[in-house]
Amino acid sequence: MYYYVDESGNTGLHLFDPDQLLLYYGVLGARANLDVISVPLLRTLRKELGVKRIHANELGVAKLTTIAERLEKFSKKNDLRFSTFTVDKQDHAIISYFDQVFDAGLNDAVAWNHYWTPLRYPLLFKVAHLFDEDIAKAAWTARLEKNPARCAKILQDVHRRLLANINRLPDARSRELIDGAIRWADAHADEISYGVGNYDTSLQISPNLIGFQSVLHGIGTEATALGQKVHKITVDRQTEFNKAQAELAGIYQKLRGHKSSLGPGMPEFDYSTLPEIPPEYKPGDESAGLELVDVTLWTAKRMREGKPVSDELKSLFFRQTRRGHTDEVSLAALDRRWRFLADLPPPGPKNPISPELQAALDEMEYKRRAAVAALR
């Protein structure tokens, strides 16, 4: 398989641009090298359009519509598969806060079972309920801060504002858990290590790298399901994140053959399906495959944003996506994935907990309470 990766909505580490709320990755897969087999068609289409490169944002709906039918026929003939991966940037700021401050390995006031099991998701949603956009901005500013003292000061203000909203939560148990965890983090800023420390680390927690993780997993999963080897991954070159993307791909290559799980009931990660080859980074005007994925990603973004798209472009989009897949990093996506937890019956006579498990839960709760009590 040959894959071509483009992105849209990139604002780097600036997450709160109201006109660019989502980061999009588009991935176009083919069994043959699009940089070879699509060149004759694209050469004809470029000549008709009077351009050196087909760039969707410059051509617009009207001009792209004139070539959409031929692109669709080419897609059908060559079984092109388009997948999208998105990151809600503002949600990412909140999720990033939660994953650092409520990590049970760092915060003694968070019980192991509240972070390393699916219980983390109800807890995340309740923490997110305390945020507004200004608090999320401040939390992200603190996350990017390289000076530990300045980071701690900003984070203290974030915590003061979150605790001021604690009564938004209707149940006493949630208020107890979240209040204790936040106050413990406030008193142990060095152990939470909330700031990134340096610029390279900030890139690793960017939406761009979070989304690129999904891209690599998606490519590996699709190729494995098709029984195909990944021959080439071509990524649109851009200066800020390509180095970090390459480092991430290198880490994943070393993890091939391994499996991991965050904990009981949590998703498992099968690294054996990840691509064996590293991505290549090219300018968009040096890859025909990148030209093709640019058109579909631009169309996908317009459709997601409710902007006008012609029937011809919609037909092209659905032709390529019918065998692709989607994934999203957002609070809404997590809610859809884990909503079934709300329908599970609580422990009781019909759903007993084993004495061994109950003893373990009691011990974790005792340690959590002791950590909170020590704050007084």
User: Are both 102 and 189 inside the same structural domain?
Assistant: yes
Model pLDDT, residue 58:
96
Assigned domain for 342 exists = no
**Model pTM greater than 0.75?**
yes
Domain of residue 249, residue span: 2-87+202-333
User: Are both 250 and 293 inside the same structural domain?
Assistant: yes
Backbone φ, ψ for residue 288 (5° rounding): -65, -35
Q: Is the pLDDT of residue 148 over 90?
A: yes
Token readout for 366 is: 């005792």
Question: Cβ of 257: how many Cβ atoms within 10 Å?
Answer: 9
Model pLDDT, residue 42:
97
The SS3 of residue 64 is helix
Contacts of 313 (CB under 8 A, 6+ apart): 61, 64, 65, 68, 299
User: Are both 98 and 78 inside the same structural domain?
Assistant: no
Ranking 6-10, 89-93, 262-266 by mean pLDDT, the lowest is 262-266
Do the Cβ atoms of 252 and 271 come closer than 8 Å?
Answer: yes
Model pLDDT, residue 376:
76
Ranking 102-106, 119-123, 217-221, 252-256 by mean pLDDT, the lowest is 252-256
User: Are both 147 and 178 inside the same structural domain?
Assistant: yes
pLDDT digits (tens, 9 = 90+) for 191-200: 999 998 888 8
Rounded CA gap, 249 and 280, in Å?
11
User: Are both 156 and 296 inside the same structural domain?
Assistant: no
Assigned domain for 80 exists = yes
Model pLDDT, residue 257:
73
Q: Is the pLDDT of residue 240 over 90?
A: no
Token readout for 46 is: 């470029």
Model pLDDT, residue 262:
72
CATH number for the domain harbouring residue 218: 3.30.420
Rounded CA gap, 271 and 232, in Å?
18
Strand pairing partners for 282?
236
How many domains are contained in the chain? 2
User: Are both 306 and 206 inside the same structural domain?
Assistant: yes
Token readout for 254 is: 């070393």
CA–chain centroid gap for 152, Å, is: 26
Rounded CA gap, 100 and 200, in Å?
18
Model pLDDT, residue 313:
98
User: Are both 65 and 131 inside the same structural domain?
Assistant: no
Percent of the chain at pLDDT exceeding 70: 100
Last residue of a domain, one of 200, 232, 257: 200
Assigned domain for 176 exists = yes
User: Are both 78 and 210 inside the same structural domain?
Assistant: yes
Assigned domain for 180 exists = yes
pLDDT digits (tens, 9 = 90+) for 38-69: 999 999 999 999 999 999 999 999 999 999 99
User: Are both 182 and 62 inside the same structural domain?
Assistant: no
Assigned domain for 343 exists = no
User: Are both 114 and 44 inside the same structural domain?
Assistant: no
Q: Is the pLDDT of residue 13 over 90?
A: yes
Give the mean model confidence (pLDDT) for residues 301-307. 96
**350 confidence band (pLDDT: 50, 70, 90):** confident
Q: Is the pLDDT of residue 241 over 90?
A: no
Rounded CA gap, 127 and 123, in Å?
6
Question: Cβ of 343: how many Cβ atoms within 10 Å?
Answer: 6
Q: Is the pLDDT of residue 323 over 80?
A: yes
